[in-house]
Every structure is written in C-alpha cells, then in structure tokens.
Amino acid sequence: MIAALSTRPALRAAVIGAYILLVEWTRALASTIPGAAVPAILLGGGALAVSVVGWPAPKLGLGTSRLGLRILGGIALAAVLLLPAAVRASEAPIIPASLAVVAVIISVAQELAFRGVLYAALDEAGGAPLAIVGSTVAWTAAHALSHPPAFLWAVAAAGLLLALWRWACRDLVAPIIGHVLADLAL
Amino acid sequence: MKRPILIAAAAGAYLVAAWMVAPGFYDGIAPQQPYNWVCPPPIAGANSGVAAASGHLVIKVIDGTSDANSAFTDDGQVIVSFLPGAFQAAGNTQVTVDIKPVSPCPNPSDLHFSTNVYLITADASLVQNTNGASPCQPACIGMRYSTLIPAPSFIYRSADANGPWTNIGGSENQQFVIRANTNQLGYFAGGYPANATNKSSGTSQLLPIAVAVLIIGVLLAGIPLAMVRRRRAGAEADEEDDEGDDDEERSTPRT
C-alpha cells in the first residue's frame, strides 16, 4: 500500500484529500456536541498537522528566505480577508480571547493540510491547475458541515485566493499568517 | 505579470462573495452557543432547525400575595423571575404567565436585536411601587443569546411589536445571558442601538482599526522592501552572476 502511494501521485493525492476531509468533517460534527468544540478543534488540528510528516518544507512552501516579503504578504492577505467584516463591524461576532490559541492552532494546521500537503500532492499528480482547483474544492467541502450554505461562496473564494498565492509565490508562510490573523479577529 | 493579476482577481472575487453574507470572513472557531431562532441571521443558517420554544407558568396566590416563582421557555432562552407579591393579585387564586416567541420578527430601524423577540403576558399586572430592597423587583428577565452574532448591550421592552422600544438596562452575571429588571410585561428582546458600538467589544471599533493598520503596514513596509529588492536586483545584474540557480528557485518564494 505504501509502495503504491509512493509511486502513484494521483492515488497519494486522493488518499491525502480523503484523510483531510475526514478529519475536518469529524471535527465539524464533534464541535456540535456541548463542551466538545475546543477539544475537537485541538484534536482536529493535531490530526491535520500529522499530514505534513514526510514532506520537505520547501515542497510545502515553507522557508525563511525573503521572510519580510512573506510576512508582508500575509498581512496583505489578512487585510483582504477581514475587509468585508471590518466595514460591517457591528454585524461581526468576535472570537473570545480565551480561544486565541485554539484559533492559531487550527488555522496553521488547515493551511499546512490544504495549501501545504494537499496542494503539493495534487501538484505532483496533475500540476498547478489541479493543485489550485483541487485544494480549493476540498477546502470548500471541508467547511460544508460547519458553515451555512450561504457562506460557502466566500469560503471558496478565500480558498482560491490563498491557493493562488501559494502557486504564484511558491509560499505558504503568507497564507498561514493571513489565515491566523483573520481567525484571531473573528 | 499574469500572476499578480490573477491574485488581484481572486481578491476581488473574494470581496464580492464575502460582501454578500454578513459579516464576511467567518471561520467558525468559537464554539456555537445553540440558539433557537425565529428569524435566523445568515450566519446561523446551519443551526436554525429547532423552533424557539414558549413557556407557561401558574403562580399561586396566597392571602392575596402572589408567590415567588420563575417562568421560562422550554428551551431555556428566556427566564422571568417574580418575587413574592410581584403581582397585583388581590382576589385571585393564581396568576398565569405566558412567554411566546414573536413571529414575524419585529425589525426596528434604530436597533439590532441579538435575540428573538418574546411576548410575555400575565393575567394580572405587576406591582409598580417596589422598595428596591431586591435587585429583582417586581420581576427580572434573563435572555440567553447566541455567540454567532454580537452580544446585546441592553434588553428592550415595548407594549407593541412595532415599538416604540424602551431600554430597560442590561447586566451580565452569567455567560451569554443578559438580565434586567422590569415593572411591566410586554414584548422583550436583547439588542443594541443600530448606530452604536455593541458591548461585546470595543472590537466593533477595533476591527476596522486593525484592518486599517494592516493596510497601512503593507503600504509602509512594502515601499522599503520593494526598494531593497530593486537594489539587490540591480547589484546582481551588475555582477552578471550567471550561475544557474534553478534548484534554489524551486524553494524560493516569488514574492
């Protein structure tokens, strides 16, 4: 099985995608149990982070070269993600401060899983277009159980923006920073 | 040049898609406090399947004095507590209290409601002259609210579903529940003025400020970074270093 995964990129990408979706859907369902939301997020974040095992950092878009530009890109992405909520701040729920650490963990884990590992696996299987579209579709599907249908277009558009950044700049640091800042705000 | 255009187009598409649903970006980290909406806001669409419940209570009247008791809805979203003698009940043997969620939902232009609107009625009037010895005289109301939308600052009361609405105060000594005293029954809802910052946060003001700081930071930091990058590119061109760096390129961001 492991040999088949290492020699067949498409199969590997499918298995990784299925694993990530399974983790995210399980987390979403577990979060509806009273008192289970925080443990579910922590466990789900850990399970997503496990997917990076065996992947070299450069393939995931991680690195410290041109770090200033990566950080700046992350801040710019956060500004774009938060702009609609900032304009309508009175309609925005605010995440409790006690959940800040949890928000950081899950947003980092999601970026590593979707724009890191899944993107890299799809890139190997079918190139950048498949990686961008595939990671965006999986990202949107992962939020289908936790978000009202009306929000999924915005979720998909955010996923597409982050995936395009990952492709255009070969960088995952900026999507991580953007996602973390956005989750810390809402 | 194609890549920045694609990213800009995706950012534009995101802004349009996020603008169509308030508040916009929402990743749902905060544990949801289940709330049974009569008119769910868009953000609560996924958990709006359970109807808001009503409540009913019969309070005994002993020697002309109504007993202490609490009325609450079956889903616990509203609780109204009455102290002994809260009602003008002379001549009665009991007082009946009803709590009903109001539909269609009142939507005053000058207020944002963070809870359902409930109609609370009784077949006797509340006493009006209280000595103020208790913080719950003659009655106090507690309204639970959802974490999905901004917390209410006050409880509002009205004699009519269409208003006008009176602010009767609000305090919070239990998480996600706002309380206030009342000497009248009628329509009640938790909310905040439409033109004001809600209590859940100075964050209503903080968020726009934070985003403005992010944008200014990008602009201010981007200029020196772009200058440094241009200088470096110029220096590299001068050196005419033509060593291949394809391998390096694969792991270096194109920012």
What is the predicted ipTM?
A: 0.92
Closest approach of chain B CAs to the CA of A15, in angstroms? 25
d(CA B116, CA B190): 8
Per residue of chain A (186 residues), what is the pLDDT tens digit?
Answer: 667 777 888 999 999 999 999 999 998 888 777 678 788 889 999 999 999 999 999 999 998 888 888 999 999 999 999 888 887 765 555 666 677 888 899 999 999 999 999 999 999 999 999 999 999 999 999 998 877 777 889 999 999 999 999 999 999 999 999 999 988 877
Inter-chain CB proximity B252 and A63 less than 8 Å: yes
Total beta-carbon pairs less than 8 A apart between chain A and chain B: 227
d(CA A110, CA A107): 5
d(CA B200, CA B30): 14
Residue B201, pLDDT score: 43
Show the tokens assigned to A29: 């369902």
B79 pLDDT above the threshold of 60? yes
Q: What are the counts of helices (DSSP H) followed by strands (DSSP E) for chain A?
A: 9, 0
Comparing CB atoms, the residue among B46, B200, B207 nearest residue A185 is B207
Chain A residues with CB-CB distance to B28 below 8 A:
143, 146-147
Inter-chain CB proximity B23 and A85 less than 8 Å: yes
Q: Note whether A116 and A172 are within 8 A (CB).
A: yes
Comparing CB atoms, the residue among A66, A82, A83 nearest residue B252 is A66
Q: Angle at Cα A49 formed by Cα A47 and Cα A50, nearest 5°?
A: 65
Inter-chain CB proximity B7 and A85 less than 8 Å: no
d(CA B79, CA B143): 7
Inter-chain CB proximity A147 and B28 less than 8 Å: yes
Chain A residues with CB-CB distance to B26 below 8 A:
85, 93, 147, 151, 154, 186
> To probe the interface with A, which of B2, B25, B148, B249 has the most A CB atoms within 10 Å?
B25
Residue A61, pLDDT score: 92
The per-residue pLDDT for range A71-86, each reduced to its tens digit, is 999 999 999 998 888 8
Whole-prediction pTM? 0.67
B3's CB contacts (< 8 A; 6+ apart) are: A164, A167, A168, A169, B254
Comparing CB atoms, the residue among A154, A173, A185 nearest residue B17 is A154
Chain A residues with CB-CB distance to B18 below 8 A:
81, 83-85, 154, 157-158
Closest approach of chain A CAs to the CA of B68, in angstroms? 32
The whole-chain average pLDDT of chain B stands at 79
Q: Provide the 3-class DSSP secondary structure of residue A86.
A: helix
Nearest chain B residue to A151 by CA distance is B21
Closest approach of chain A CAs to the CA of B12, in angstroms? 9
Please, what are the domains in chain B? 42-193 (2.60.220)
Q: How confident is the model at residue B131 (pLDDT cuts 50, 70, 90)?
A: low
More confident residue, A108 or B43: A108
Q: Note whether B111 and B191 are within 8 A (CB).
A: yes
Q: Which of A27, A103, A40, A42 is nearest to B26 (CA)?
A: A103
> To probe the interface with A, which of B198, B199, B214, B231 has the most A CB atoms within 10 Å?
B214
The per-residue pLDDT for range B89-106, each reduced to its tens digit, is 778 888 899 999 998 889
Chain A residues with CB-CB distance to B222 below 8 A:
72
Q: Angle at Cα B11 formed by Cα B5 and Cα B16, nearest 5°?
A: 125
Task: Annotate chain B with DSSP letters as a single string.
Answer: -HHHHHHHHHHHHHHHHHHTSSSS-----SPP-----SS--GGGGGG--SPPP-EEEEEEEETTEEPPEEEE-TTSSEEEEE-TT-B--TT-SEEEEEEEE-SSPP--TTEEESS--EEEEESSPBPS---S-STT-SEEEEEE--SSSPPPSEEEEESSTT---EE---EEEETTEEEEEESS-EEEEEEEETTS--TT-THHHHHHHHHHHHHHHHHHHHHHHHHHHHHHHHHHHHHT-----HHHHHHS---
How many residues does this entry show for chain A?
186
Question: Crossing angle, helix A152-169 and helix A128-142, to 10 degrees?
Answer: 150
d(CA B79, CA B81): 7
Most confident of A35-49, B48-62, B190-204: A35-49
Q: Which residues pair with B127 in a beta bridge?
A: none
Q: Which of B5, B19, B7 is nearest to A132 (CA)?
A: B7
Comparing CB atoms, the residue among B15, B42, B210 nearest residue A84 is B15
Residue A16, pLDDT score: 95
The per-residue pLDDT for range B1-29, each reduced to its tens digit, is 688 899 999 999 999 998 887 667 767 66
> To probe the interface with A, which of B1, B3, B7 has the most A CB atoms within 10 Å?
B7
> To probe the interface with B, which of A25, A32, A83, A164 has the most B CB atoms within 10 Å?
A83
Comparing CB atoms, the residue among A38, A83, A149 nearest residue B211 is A83
Q: Note whether B183 and B139 are within 8 A (CB).
A: yes
The per-residue pLDDT for range B217-249, each reduced to its tens digit, is 888 887 777 777 778 777 777 665 555 444 444
Closest approach of chain B CAs to the CA of A5, in angstroms? 23
B52 pLDDT above the threshold of 80? yes
